[in-house]
Structure 1
Amino acid sequence: MTAEAVPGARPRRTQTALGGGFRRTWWASVVSAAGTGVHFASFPLLAAQITRSPGELSLVTAVGSLPWLLLALPAGAVVDRGDPRKVMVVSDAGRAVVVVLLAAALAGHRLGLPALVTASGLLGVGEVFFDCASLALLPRLVAAADLERANGRLYSGMQAGQNFAGQLVGGGLFRLLRALPFLVNAASFVVSAVLLQGVRGTEPARGRQLPGGLRQQIVHGVRICLANRPFVALTLVSALMNAVYLGELALLVLFSTRILHLPTAFYGTQLTALAVGALLGGVLTPRLLDRFGRLRLLAAAPAVVGATSVALGLSSTWYAALAAFLVMGAASMVWNVVAVSLRQTLMPADLLGRATSVHRLVSWGAMPLGSVCFGLAADAWGLRAPFVAGGALLALATLPAVPTFRSLRVLPDAGSYERQAVT
């Protein structure tokens, strides 16, 4: 197989149709995302009825994200040892059981804080395995040249399912009957598992499995990831973007009410603008790739997110803030689609699970750090300062990664890369 075009060049697009395996995976992901959106909208409401303690509410959220710190690396190795589709099916089935038990306990008035914390943790475990497997599955279903198109459709569909269809109805279902949104979420996991069960041709190639036990394979995967400079650059830029993003969300309510003098309800409108921007970004990414190429998008997307963060920090009107969030959401999604597709091409198929786990461990681990830093900066210099400083830092810190992207030529069949000057 010939080498893929340099990321800075305009990649040649094929007219091949995405196959039935991708379509089933797309529907499974969208249905599951819609169920997750219902869950996200209703789970905090349920937790607030179980306990009024801020500390206990924080515990429920923290336990749900803890599996990413504890299990990301083992989960990635498990995915690489077998068939990612089967890992996704088992994850969906397990989460369906957890949610059904949660709904049963709620209907029987036997749901307390320990059960709520346990359910949050188990759902987090399922999420870790499902996400690591999902990113490893896609390159087995579509050609390397179609990865951006496939990822764009996948991310857009998941955005629509979770942030619009799911979250819009989750709160209403909870008000009708507290157990109803969780039963809907359980049904979405079942439908997703059934759809994924019908996907074929995803088994790992024989002879590609690494020798040794799980621990050795984890260490081996981490070493390969750290030795791959483009992978490291993508991960560090993603980590900084996530830190800025969560830092902004942590202060958004205060910024809206104290700086923009808006009602608290406007917070949800700004989140909707982010979601709409992300949906547009996912749809437009393939066209932007045709016009500008990977290098320009990889360099421009973080710069645009940084610039809109600065603009948000300097804004004084609600419509300027909405415009900033709309553009920020679109640029963030463009980065996600292009960066994920490039990571999927940088690594061989039997390393994608571990590569995803390493990437998520670093990039998602930066989010609480960003929240803390933004809070300290706001206490010291006011609410505008973190948005301006964080955005400027993101735009400037991305520049050192550009030469790495610029000198990259990907070999999809080998999962390796060669350095060459861009002509």
Structure 2
Amino acid sequence: MAERLSVPNAQRFLVADRHKQSRRNPMTINQAFKIIITLSLAISISSTYGQRTVLPVNNENFVIEIQGKKTVNKGKINFPITKLFDINEIGNIAILDTAQNRLLITNISKDNFNNIIETIAFPEGIEPISIKINGSNIFVGGDFGKEKIYSYNMTEKKWSQIDIPTEIMSLGKSVDDFLVYSDTLIALDNLIMPKYLLFYSLKDPLSINLIKSYEVPPNGTYEQLHRILLKEEYFIILSSTFSGYTGGASHVTVLDKNNLPDYTGYIEKTQKNIFLEPETRPKGLFNGFTISSNKKWLWFIRKRPNRDYSDIRWIDIAEHRNRIYLLEDPNKLNIFKIKQKFFKERIVKGIWHNDERFTRQLTSNKLKSKKLSVESGKWFVSLENSLFLVYQNKQGEFNFKKIK
């Protein structure tokens, strides 16, 4: 069943109770009432966007608002159903309509959101797969032979391409996700190894420049990076690999954002000497850990190394109230908390100094799991105090369910 909604026939507003007003000085009351109205409007303007998002109901998209514990439908919006959208701090929403090759923009904090939808064609030379909106800029990432990042400025009404260094950009690469913290945009570089986190300065919205990049430690062969989150001081990356020995696997890699290791020098040394001793490695080499879906108890792996490894897929990730949520295909939810004890250094001896051993791998028993009462989960949608799951029923219709 879809999330049960409170759908008013007309707009409902919270109205101040005037029945108990004082009958003292009417001028004072009027002044006080004006102050209350002004404060109420200010609070409404500053917080309404944070409690609105777009979610599907019976295969149609709606603007949904959280009012206390209620989920209120504010009306159908003329957007396609997709997870490729983002909302900024004043309620502007940008969505990638890849079927029609266009970008759609409106403001869902306003009740006439359908009447103010802007339609912008994608620039030539990009197949977009990721989006982030920050202030007046909409960042679109993807590929077209090589990875690309474009920025659309809503004030200037124009596209501009953001530079990616030639030593990073290569055939087959793509930008699969973004995040923003402080005045920095971080792009998640995917596919062809090595993969990177690309840091861009947002201090000048009309001049976005690369300021640094870090290699992302790999977890195995044919790895794809899907999503990146920022939780306090940690980067959290969802990825997947494939191996002929263990089959398909999903991974959640957690890195300390304040102490990202530089792998370049170490890789150069290992290429010259594969027997490089552990004590010669950079000190920051193991400031991270990975939880893998196919990594089980070691005694089980030794006894049955190539059995019972089903293709377990984690297809989306979200952070809510200090916990990490993993959506497992088709209808399972995995939850864990980041703990400092997970960051212990991995001891590697002998010739196992290859580039797949940079992060400490933990067994999936660190997760708490539960079955979901949906047919097929698709992706998470987060608000400040709520977490929703978009799913499809047996008839193929999209709906949503509140998780937390």
Query: If the TM-score is normalised by the length of the shorter chain, which range does it land in?
Result: under 0.3
Q: Normalising by structure 2, what TM-score?
A: 0.23
Of Structure 1 and Structure 2, which has the larger fraction of its residues in strand?
Answer: 2
| Bigger CA radius of gyration | 2
Q: Normalising by structure 1, what TM-score?
A: 0.23
**Whose RCO is larger (CA < 8 A, sep 6+)?**
1
